[in-house]
Structure 1
Amino acid sequence: MDGPLTMRSGFRTWLLWAALWVPVAMAARAASPSVTDLFAQAESIRSAEPARFSALVDALQRRKQEMEPRQREQLEYLEAYRLAFSGNYDAVIPRLKALAASAKDDDIRFRANALLVNLYTKSRRFAESLRQLGNVLPQMDRVSDPQLKVHALVEAAYLHNEIGQYGLGLQYAERILSEHSDSRARCFAEYLKYDAMMNLATMPADMAPLDDAIDHCTAGGERLLANHIRVIVARAMAAKHKRAEAIALLRTHLAEVESFRYPYLAVLVKATLAELLFERGDLKAAETYASEAIALSGAVGTSTQSLVGAYRTMYRIAERRRDTETALVYYRRFAEADKAYLNEVKARELAYQIVRQETFEKSEQIQRLGSQNQLLQLQRKLESKSVQNTRLVVVLLTMLLASIGYWAYRTKRTQMMFKRLAQTDALTGIGNRSHFSIQSERLLAQCARNEQEVALVMFDLDHFKTINDRYGHAAGDQVLVRVAELCRGLDYRNAVVGRLGGEEFALLLPGMSLAQAVEAAEDCRQRVTRIDTSGTGHRFLVTASFGVTTTALAGYQLARLFSLADRMLYRSKHDGRNQVSAYEGGYSLPERRTVPASGETARRETQEQES
């Protein structure tokens, strides 16, 4: 009796449990959001709330079995977007390329290709980014979703701003603003617009439009871009000597910036804060923010303008504290970061020119193929016609050959232009670092065979950053041009002249002893101090610090000559600037060989400083 009763009792208990819990489970199931709802939520916050977006992608991944093929493609795109936001571009680019190739849905394929433009730009692969953009923009007419068209135009504006083509970036941003009115689209467009205007020095005098842009970003949920615009506002405030307001603005939102875990923005904000605080005299806070920006820059992966600024601030802080050793360390790092950044800027310009040339050549090839195709069709028609038509074929062939010759001539001219661009410094017209090194290696090899002594003179303009800050970059550029003209005007036979980067120049002088090279450097130093700056609209003194060595002491290896001349240049910098120091042998830094300024030059320096 106990057995059957026990079994019946257990069965009733199970029925009771089922009656109580099955409806609860069904209700919970019914209350959970649908896959479509989850996708809508994830799409609306993907760049505004990274943590919540990542959680939604995980939730979608767990429900992958419920999805249609298009939804699975959409999930693949969102997973790639999440991985891209973390900065792992090398891992995500192959996934996006595979998705763009395999996706059946036109919109998903378009989104994958547009995101590839962004990632190529962020990973500094500008030539590939421009080629990818050239494939994306023609596809806009086949896309049904207006927001995807905004996406493509945003990527076009962002890319052109990054490669320094701010005029084109501004045009794409203005196009978005004229065609779309929702807050999110206006947020992206206004950020890109004011970024381009800041670099073109055409910022509006009234800050109200930038405040409106921040409001649009906040309304659209784009807090990250709102903080990008705040950095632009802070820099505009600083330019108007409102540093206290600029510092307060950035500090108020610093915690929010750090919560994004987006290294690029964090480095930008902290480097800007460090520079502003240094100008206000708060060295301790400036040092803290600059150090944090440098520590975070490793996650960015390339030398940025923010990193250059952080190193410059650290160098200036050490110099202000009279800590010469630390100042020298950070000055070297600043110089290295600045050169790396300038090289990247040059690479961006070259990538733009290369892709323009590729586009031109493709267009030319299409025209040639079209002409050849037309000619073949005409030839088939003319085979059965009279001698008059045969003459017409001859005329067409002549025109085709003339056209091919013309385009070949144009292509050759373009190739020569690129060769000049690769060898010449765009601002000053003298040889760039690469061309100077190649010419110097050849000259050193020839002089080594002939046992002829060669001298290397390197010099760096003093306080050039102050000239740029006080009188403007246009004035600084004019000074660099005048120094280059001065170098070209020096009457030294077979001399090699070059701009090494920034405000640093070099002269390789064959047939000169150390004493002669020091005399030549001193002559050059005095010429620099006599540069007339009135053409800039300001009068100020230009000076330079020189370092000199020769093959008699350093041998004929260019790297060794560079190293010793550079050490002497730094000796001149730290011994008071505006002087010449020569390397005279030995394993340690030698006593500097300084040629004093002439009485006339000294009087002029005093007058310039007093004015």
Structure 2
Amino acid sequence: MTSSAYGAIIEKAYELRSANPKEAQRIIKSVNRDDLKGIDRDRFDYIHAYLLYITGDIAWSITAFERLVVEASDFDQQFAAYASLANLYGGTQKWAKGFKALEYLSDNIQKVSSIEAEEHGHMAAVNFYTAIEETESVVAYIQPLLEGDYSLRFSCMIKMHWISAVNEADYKSLNEEIFTELLTRCEELNEPILQLGTYQELAFYYLKTEQVNKAFSLLSKHLDFAINVDYKPLSDEFHQMLSIVYLNYEEFDKAKFHAEKVLENLDRGLYSNASTSAYETLSKVAVSDGDYRRALEYYKKYSEAKSFVLNRENAKLFSVQRAKQESVEKSNKIALLDKENSLLKANVMLDEQSEQNQNLIYILILVLLLSAAYWIYKSRSNYQKLQKISRIDGLTDIANRHYFTDYSIDISTRNAKDNRPVSFIMFDLDDFKKINDTYGHRVGDVALKSAANAAKIVCRKDDLIGRLGGEEFGIMLSDCTIQKAVAVAEACRTEIERAAVSEEFDFKLTASFGISGSELVGYDFDNIFDNADKALYESKTKGKNTVSVLNK
């Protein structure tokens, strides 16, 4: 067959690439690549690279798309390959390469000749912003696209991404009709992952708006569908939300069943938000059964999983910010080189100009030098801002978990050399979920700030205060005995209890505390952290709003 005779076959495989990957694979295998030329070969290579991604061969998929970027004879197909690379770089946390691909897409999207290639570029940008969790950027980017004249598949996909982002940032602006409209419009696509993703977001919306019965009905109805699609992250989300619903109904056996489903075939150390929630559910179920030993075991796994997820997110945040900074520094270097070239030209002009023009040239050189100095200053300023972003929790203005942990390890190591005591206080706001659910996330954020401010009031200038994640905080105290740490914790507990969180709502904010330190378990920070975590758990079981210390 000639290359043109293969055109219809290749297009069929392209149409089925996500809806029916196995059939697309079968079709592609029936085509001899050596018989293809030009755009037919480009299309064949694109489908091949895409199917590698679908079947899980991510590294080979990236290699195939990178080769297509170089070898493609058609600009639109080259652009689509760049778009796929932006998606893959985001998914594999190759942020620097992702930003570079995104920059290429932004610079060239006006040059593409087909709507399909334009859709590839827009979708890549949305996916990349989603991967780096810039929710506001996702909403802002998609908003002008919603009314565009695009294909049904693209329109449905960006609408689902828009709903997901809004559901995370401002769910109160959504309603059931928005979800129903999307499902009705996109059901003819026969894209099961898209349908299930919309059901999942709708269930999430129901839970946020306290429509638990509707969430339960929706999740139960489509659970088998989610399982049969055989896409584990999606089925895990269904099981995880069902475990939360059954826990709310106090149907503990069913809550346990769905939580355990999430943890089936879990690779230890590769935790997700779903598996973290599952461990928390199993801990609560064990408490309801009176099996406190098992509850503690699950709570430790929950803490380990939560710590892993938070550390991963902090590492991602730092990597993203570093990639952005590298991009800024690269632009600054280019600008500086341009200024240096201008200086060289100015020197040549100086030699050639008459004496009466030399003063003017000197002024020009001075301006260029000042401009170069300004660029250096801006680069330094951006680095300092990046350093602060990578260390500080944006809401409470105290150390984030990643920086808190690293610096606490340094404190322990330094004090161990001189045998000086260190103490660690861990505290957790009581019934924080109830505050969020009852009064809203705005009040919940104020409560978190109040807790951080209370810690600042009672702590010394050199004490390290950090947000460990969610409603959990830590205080690292150098040259501090356990006895003094108990006094600090009691003062902090009292200060939190006295805090007026909201003039609009009248409720008391309390916290539970656990204390550990070198006097109890030595200077290894992991041991100090685990011991304080257990002490905090004891405070919770003793009725909350109290301070506990456990001997090893």
Question: What TM-score results when the alignment is normalised by the length of structure 2?
Answer: 0.90
User: What's the counterpart of residue 163 of structure 2?
Assistant: 194
Q: Do 1:243 and 1:280's aligned partners in 2 also have CA atoms closer than 8 Å?
A: no
Which amino acid counterpart does residue 326 of structure 2 have in structure 1? Answer: E
Residue in 1 that maps onto 2:288: 320
Q: Deviation of residue 245 (structure 1)?
A: 2.8
Letter matched to residue 566 of structure 1: D
Q: How far 1:124 sits from its partner (Å)?
A: 3.5
> Whole-Å Cα distance in 2 between the matches of residues 396 and 464 of structure 1?
61
| CA distance, structure 2, for counterparts of residue 47 and residue 418 of structure 1 | 39
- 2:355 maps to 387
- Superposed, which structure 2 residues align to 1:422-433 within 5 Å? 422-433=390-401
SS of structure 1 residue aligned to 2:264: helix
Letter in 1 for 2:60: A
In structure 2, the residue matched to 1:332 is 300
Q: Which residue does the alignment assign to 1:8?
A: none
Determine which of 482, 486, 510 is the counterpart of 2:450. 482
Q: Tell me how far apart the structure 2 counterparts of residues 349 and 335 of structure 1 sit (CA, whole Å).
A: 21
2-structure distance, mates of 1:487, 1:481: 10
CA distance in 2, matches of 1:446, 1:68: 66
Answering whether residue 93 of structure 2 is matched by residue 124 of structure 1, we say yes
Q: What is the rounded CA distance, in whole Å, between the counterparts of 2:548 and 2:185 in structure 1? A: 57
CA contact (8 A) 1:80 1:95 kept: yes
Residue 494 of structure 1 and its aligned partner are, at CA, apart by 4.4
Give the 3-state SS of the residue equivalent to 1:168 in structure 2.
Answer: helix
Residue 71 of structure 1, CA deviation: 2.7
Alignment match of 1:103 (pick from 60, 68, 72): 72
Once the two structures are TM-superposed, the CA of residue 557 in structure 1 deviates from its matched residue by 3.4
Distance 1:471 1:333, change over 3 A: farther
The C-alpha deviation readout for 1:91-114, integer Å capped at 9, x for no partner, is: 322222222223333233222221
Distance 1:463 1:451 in 2: 38
How far has the Cα of 1:138 moved from its partner? Answer: 1.7
Match of 2:394, SS state, is: coil
Q: What do the CA deviations read for 1:139-179 (whole angstroms, capped 9, x no partner)?
A: 22332221111111011112212322122212322233233
Q: CA distance change for structure 1 residues 394 and 249 in 2, over 3 Å: closer, same or farther?
A: same
What's 2:102 paired with? Answer: 133
1:578 partner letter: N
Deviation of the 1:135 alpha carbon = 2.2
Q: Contact 2:314/2:401 (CA < 8 Å) preserved in 1? A: no
TM-fit CA distance, 1:283? 3.3
The residue aligned with 2:518 is 551
Residues 126, 335 of structure 1: alpha-carbon distance in 2 compared, 3 angstrom cutoff: farther
Q: Share of identical aligned residues, percent?
A: 27
Q: Is the Cα contact below 8 Å between 1:267 and 1:293 reproduced in 2?
A: yes
> Counterpart in 2 of 1:498?
466
Once the two structures are superposed, the pairs formed by residues 132-531 of structure 1 within 5 Å of their partners are 132-295=101-264, 298=267, 303-381=271-349, 383-444=351-412, 447-448=415-416, 450-490=418-458, 492=460, 494-531=462-499
- For the Cα contact (< 8 Å) 1:308–1:337, is it kept in 2? yes
User: Which residue is 1:9 aligned to?
Assistant: none
CA contact (8 A) 1:455 1:548 kept: yes
Counterpart amino acid of 2:99?
Answer: L
Aligned in 2, Cα 1:303/1:474: closer, same or farther, shift over 3 Å? farther
**Which amino acid is 2:290 matched to?**
R
Report the equivalent of 2:24: 53
How many residue pairs end up in the alignment?
550
Question: How big is each residue's C-alpha offset from its partner over 1:519-562, in whole Å with a ceiling of 9 and x where there is no partner?
Answer: 33223223332222224x33333332222234334333333333
* Counterpart contact for 2:436–2:443, Cα < 8 Å: yes
What are structure 1's unaligned runs of at least 5 residues? Answer: 1-28, 586-611
In the alignment, is residue 88 of structure 1 matched against residue 57 of structure 2?
yes
Q: Deviations over 1:432-483 (max 9, x none)?
A: 3344345444544554455443333322223333333333332222222111
* Amino acid of the structure 1 residue aligned with 2:526: A
CA contact (8 A) 1:154 1:173 kept: no
Partner Cα separation in structure 2 for residue 532 and residue 187 of structure 1: 45
Give the Cα separation in 2 of the matches to 1:445 and 1:121. 36
Distance 1:206 1:465 in 2: 23
Of stretches 228-237 and 524-533 in structure 1, the one that deviates more from structure 2 is 524-533
Higher alpha-carbon deviation: 480-489 or 214-223: 214-223
Partner of 1:581: 548
Q: Return the alpha-carbon distance in structure 2 between the equivalents of residues 448 and 116 of structure 1.
A: 48
1:44 aligns with 2:12: no
**2:412 and 2:310 mapped to 1: Cα distance?**
27
Distance 1:432 1:70, change over 3 A: same
User: For the residues of structure 1 that align with 2:35 and 2:462, how far apart are their CA atoms?
Assistant: 77
Query: CA shift at 1:563, angstroms?
Result: 3.2
Post-superposition Cα deviations, 1:412-450, rounded to whole Å, max 9, x if no partner, equal 122222222223222222223344345444544554455
Kept after mapping to 2: 8 A contact 1:187/1:216: yes
Please name the residue that 1:21 is paired with. Answer: none
The answer to whether the 8 Å contact 2:412/2:422 transfers is yes
Shift of 1:190: 0.6
CA gap 1:98/1:208 in 2 versus in 1, 3 angstroms: same
Q: Distance in 1 between matches of 2:267 and 2:8?
A: 38
**How far does the alpha carbon of each residue in 1:484-512 deviate from its partner, in whole angstroms, 9 at most, with x for none?**
11111115474333333333323333444
Counterpart pick for 1:540 among 501, 507, 510:
507
Matched AA of 1:583: L
1:203 to 1:219, Cα distance in 2 relative to 1, 3 A = farther
What letter corresponds to residue 519 of structure 1 in structure 2?
A
CA–CA distance in 1 between the matches of 2:254 and 2:372?
Answer: 65
- Aligned-partner SS, 1:431: coil
Please say if 1:560 is aligned against 2:527: yes
Contact 1:459/1:545 (8 A) holds in 2: yes
Counterpart in 2 of 1:35?
6
Q: Distance in 2 between matches of 1:575 and 1:396?
A: 74
CA shift for structure 1 position 411: 1.5
SS of residue in 2 equivalent to 1:178: coil
Name the residue aligned to 1:5. none
> RMSD between aligned alpha carbons?
2.9
- What SS is found at the alignment partner of 1:428? coil
SS of 1:120 mapped into structure 2: helix
Tell me if structure 1 keeps the 8 A contact 2:412–2:523: yes
Higher mean C-alpha deviation, range 317-326 or range 191-200? 317-326
Q: Which has the larger radius of gyration?
A: 1
**TM superposition score normalised by structure 1:** 0.82
Q: Which residue of 2 aligns with 1:23?
A: none
Q: Distance in 2 between matches of 1:375 and 1:512?
A: 58
Residue identity opposite 1:404 in structure 2: A
Unpaired segments of 5 or more residues in structure 2?
Answer: none
User: Quick one: structure 1 residues 218 and 443, their matched pair in 2 at CA, closer, same or farther if it must change by over 3 Å?
Assistant: closer
Answer yes or no: is the 8 Å Cα contact 1:454–1:511 preserved in 2: yes
Could you give the per-residue CA deviations for residues 59-105 of structure 1, whole angstroms, max 9, x where no partner exists? 33xx4454335433322321221121133323322222222223333
